[in-house]
Chain A
Amino acid sequence: MSLFEQVTDKPWERKGVIGGLSPEGTFKTQAERVALIFFLIIASVVFSLFLVSYYIRMELPDWEPLSEPAQLWFNTGLLVASSILFQWARNIVVRNGKSNLYTSFFGAGIFAILFIIAQLVSWSYLQAGGFYLSSNPANAFYYLLTGLHALHLVGGLWFWSKSAIRLISGGEPKDIRLSIELCTIYWHFLLLVWIAVFAILSNT
């Protein structure tokens, strides 16, 4: 039954077990995946609210646009690489394969860590150039948005490291399959968020 049919059902008319003997799950997928999707929606709400605030604040007269460091293009490359490697690792575990799993899985994590380091480097360049957090709202938003994004990535790396430990201590790929699948979705999501943030920052 579609969701619409489900909520327009007249529940008093039909008795018995509806839907055969299978228990009721609204979405035919793991609970963890549903939870992740909800979390991604929440994270999108957070980022969108920041971006809406960004646009509202931008309209006010004291705004001086910040020219983003060109290094961000390089950083973006790191994040893209990380995402691609994660997708590769996911494809391997879904096939229940093992070869190249280490390369792809650890590579993905390392590129993500490199991305965070590169972001910190770009911060220090800005600081050295006199673009402080409090000197202009554009700067403040830059630090805030990139920092928040990096923080989300750090959270992802925590789950990554848990799987990594499991993998190193002799875990089978199937044990971490769900974890890798979910991390992959999360990584792609963060890449999209980054691209959106980057696009908005550099176009305003």
Chain B
Amino acid sequence: MAYVPLADQDQEMEMHHPHTWVEKYVFSQDHKVIGVQYGGLAVFTGIIGLALSLLFRLQLGFPESVDFVDPNFYYQAVTMHGMIMVVYFLTALFLGGFGNYMIPLMLGARDMVFPFLNMMSVWTFFISVVILMSSFFVSGGPTGAGWTLYPPQTTMAGTPGHDAGIILMLVSLAVFVVAFTMGGLNYVVTILQYRCRGMTLMRMPLTIWGVFVATVLGLFAFPALLVACIMMMFDTLLGTSFFMPAVIEAGSPLDYEGGSPILFQHLFWFFGHPEVYIVALPAFGLVSDVLSVHARKNIFGYRMMVWAIIAIGGLSFIVWAHHMYVSGMNPYFGFFFATTTLIIAVPTALKVYNWIFTLWEGDIRLNAPMYFAIGFIFTFIHGGLTGLFLGNVVVDLPLSDTYFVVAHFHLVMGVSPILVLFAAIYHWFPKVSGRMFNEKLAKVHFWFTFLGAYSIFLPLHYLGFLGVPRRYYALGNTDFIPLSAQDLNSTVTVAALIVAASQILFFVNIIGSLKWGKKADPNPWGAASLEWQTPDTPPVHGNWGDKLPTVYRWAYDYSVPGAAEDYIPQTVPENEVITASDDNFETNKDPSPAAI
């Protein structure tokens, strides 16, 4: 049996067409349905994560008048908020949601290469969410050990949820890793092997590059989390001492000896740092596409963007210990990790420059998705630059474990990716639903989210400079924290409440538009990439009707000199490009004078 490229098996490929409602919407093998399921479930957990953050923000902002948040619940809420947002919300939404939906459409495939595995992935994810949520209902409640789950604290009596809660968290994470691996194998193999005719690697939109590298990172980084979870579970349930040193719990020694808490931290951050880029890289990709389409200009320096994604992905595996400068590990590691960490700034900065240069001499349509994308550039610059403080080992000394850290990572991997998320949802909503959203409402939503989020996190940096520690239930009496810090905290809480409340606008817009929105044009933004060229809007099962598309050009042919339209879809061959009937035609032969 000779090797037959997948896309050539098109004729004989059996689509598992659904027959019943359950097969169509519940146990569906269609990547689009699975993408929406993944996204919906992630958004659901994200709302819970957001609600938790409001509860502990209320405590921090108004400690005197809020008495329904006790210290126990505060630590549980902080922990669950962190874990939910990082893993169950952002990772699942970008890769499970957008990855699933976009990969086959952008590559010209009918579906993922293993649709059944894909379905298994989303339901395994569902199980992991159920396990996670069940920890709210067990005795002792969910774990309050901080989202980093550092031993020996996690399983000791002074920590909230140290009995059932932590076990459920570990099991849930392990199940999540399984779900992610099933999905991730699918994304990687589909991207590598399942592209339509003419779709070379360098013709792929940056969204795909972002998802691809992020998935590879995930496949190699999540095992570290799995290994750490397994070993911690052994320590907790079977009495081994992998991570547990000899410790004293409330005056009496526990039956552990000699384990290394720092080993856990190494494993955790070997997962944890790439995890940042697992969230960020798909966001980089999505925002590049949104910027390019709405600026009516090709993404500037496409090749550099691809290489930067790959470089960032590679480097992200050798910077993990910058989370551990003050962990008590061998301090000489600091030299190496500070250097590698600051090196990452170079490709990241190049990406930022290229986003701005994409706007330079563009023809910017300030649609709602573009608002969010430009807002992203702003917050990402801020969040990226504050990373240079924390990455530089001595500057990290006074700042680590303060609110500066909180502000930094929320800007860089909370606010920024979420702004991209909204940009992407508004951008692709017409294709996914077949209807237009309400532009005005979306812009109001933008102003609240963008300005609100910045006014939450800018001040928090300054609490960090002051030296206010994070994870403090109350500031208490100190000499160096002025009373005004409490006022600042109250302001931040009010801003957080406003931002959270304004998200209702988003849901009203999305749900309302699904029902009453204007019917959307198949390609309302005039985008060149493949997913906008489907025969049906929204795309049906199988995506491409009778025949798979063929690709003749890269995904960024915008404002090509000589062409009549300001974009040329990827599916249009060179001899079918409608040219403007003026003397610009000559330049069409040499479309890239700048490259020479």
Complex Cα distance A57/B230, Å?
15
**B229-273, CB < 8 A from A:** 230-231, 234, 238-242, 255, 257-260, 263, 266-267, 270
- Once the chains bind, are B241 and A62 in contact (CB under 8 Å)? yes
How close is A130's CB to chain B, nearest CB, in angstroms? 15
A57-94 interface bits toward B, Cβ cutoff 8 Å, 1 = contact, 0 = none: 10011110000000000000000000000000000000
Query: What residues of chain B lie closer than 8 Å to A22, measured between beta carbons?
Result: 5, 8, 197
User: Is A21 an interface residue when CB atoms closer than 8 A count as contact?
Assistant: yes
Residue of B nearest to A23 (CB): B7
User: Is B224 an interface residue when CB atoms closer than 8 A count as contact?
Assistant: yes
Q: B interface, how many residues as a size bin? A: 35 or more
Complex Cα distance A7/B304, Å?
10
- Once the chains bind, are B226 and A41 in contact (CB under 8 Å)? no
- Once the chains bind, are A140 and B223 in contact (CB under 8 Å)? no
User: Is B201 an interface residue when CB atoms closer than 8 A count as contact?
Assistant: yes
Contact of A25 among B193, B548, B551 (CB under 8 A): B193
Contact of B197 among A6, A17, A50, A174 (CB under 8 A): A17
Contact of A7 among B7, B201, B548 (CB under 8 A): B201
Query: What residues of chain B lie closer than 8 Å to A60, measured between beta carbons?
Result: 258-260
- Once the chains bind, are B223 and A12 in contact (CB under 8 Å)? no
How close is B74's CB to chain A, nearest CB, in angstroms? 33
Query: What residues of chain A lie closer than 8 Å to B6, measured between beta carbons?
Result: 23, 25, 31
User: Is A200 an interface residue when CB atoms closer than 8 A count as contact?
Assistant: no
Contact of A38 among B188, B197, B552 (CB under 8 A): B188
Residue of A nearest to B195 (CB): A24
How close is A165's CB to chain B, nearest CB, in angstroms? 18
- Once the chains bind, are B202 and A49 in contact (CB under 8 Å)? no
**B294-327, CB < 8 A from A:** 298, 302-303, 306-307, 310
- Once the chains bind, are B192 and A137 in contact (CB under 8 Å)? no
- Once the chains bind, are B193 and A57 in contact (CB under 8 Å)? no
- Once the chains bind, are A134 and B238 in contact (CB under 8 Å)? yes
- Once the chains bind, are A134 and B260 in contact (CB under 8 Å)? no
- Once the chains bind, are B240 and A137 in contact (CB under 8 Å)? yes
A34-69 interface bits toward B, Cβ cutoff 8 Å, 1 = contact, 0 = none: 110011011001100110010011001111000000
Query: What residues of chain A lie closer than 8 Å to B260, measured between beta carbons?
Result: 56-57, 60
How close is B225's CB to chain A, nearest CB, in angstroms? 10
- Once the chains bind, are B259 and A57 in contact (CB under 8 Å)? yes
- Once the chains bind, are B193 and A34 in contact (CB under 8 Å)? yes
Query: What residues of chain A lie closer than 8 Å to B219, measured between beta carbons?
Result: 38, 41-42
How close is A127's CB to chain B, nearest CB, in angstroms? 13
User: Is A15 an interface residue when CB atoms closer than 8 A count as contact?
Assistant: yes
- Once the chains bind, are B303 and A53 in contact (CB under 8 Å)? no
User: Is B198 an interface residue when CB atoms closer than 8 A count as contact?
Assistant: yes
Residue of A nearest to B201 (CB): A6
User: Is A149 an interface residue when CB atoms closer than 8 A count as contact?
Assistant: no
Residue of B nearest to A140 (CB): B240
Contact of A11 among B8, B196, B266, B302 (CB under 8 A): B302
Residue of B nearest to A24 (CB): B195
Complex Cα distance A141/B553, Å?
54
Query: What residues of chain B lie closer than 8 Å to A21, measured between beta carbons?
Result: 197
- Once the chains bind, are A10 and B193 in contact (CB under 8 Å)? no
Complex Cα distance A10/B206, Å?
14
The 6 closest A-B pairs by CB, nearest first: A62-B258, A23-B7, A134-B239, A11-B554, A140-B240, A24-B195
**Can you give 22 A-B contacts (C-beta < 8 A)?**
A6-B201, A7-B201, A9-B201, A12-B595, A16-B573, A18-B198, A23-B197, A25-B5, A25-B6, A26-B193, A26-B201, A34-B192, A35-B113, A38-B188, A38-B189, A49-B224, A56-B263, A60-B259, A61-B258, A134-B238, A134-B255, A140-B241
List the interface of chain B (C-beta within 8 A of A).
Answer: 1, 3, 5-8, 113-114, 181, 185-186, 188-189, 192-203, 219-220, 223-224, 226-227, 230-231, 234, 238-242, 255, 257-260, 263, 266-267, 270, 298, 302-303, 306-307, 310, 548, 550-554, 556-557, 573-574, 591-592, 595
List the interface of chain A (C-beta within 8 A of B).
Answer: 1, 6-13, 15-19, 21-31, 34-35, 38-39, 41-42, 45-46, 49-50, 53, 56-57, 60-63, 133-134, 137, 140, 144, 174, 177-178
| Further pairs besides A12-B591, A62-B241: 20, Cβ < 8 Å | A6-B200, A7-B201, A9-B202, A15-B552, A19-B198, A24-B197, A24-B198, A24-B199, A24-B200, A25-B6, A26-B192, A31-B6, A34-B193, A38-B189, A53-B267, A57-B260, A60-B258, A63-B258, A137-B240, A174-B1
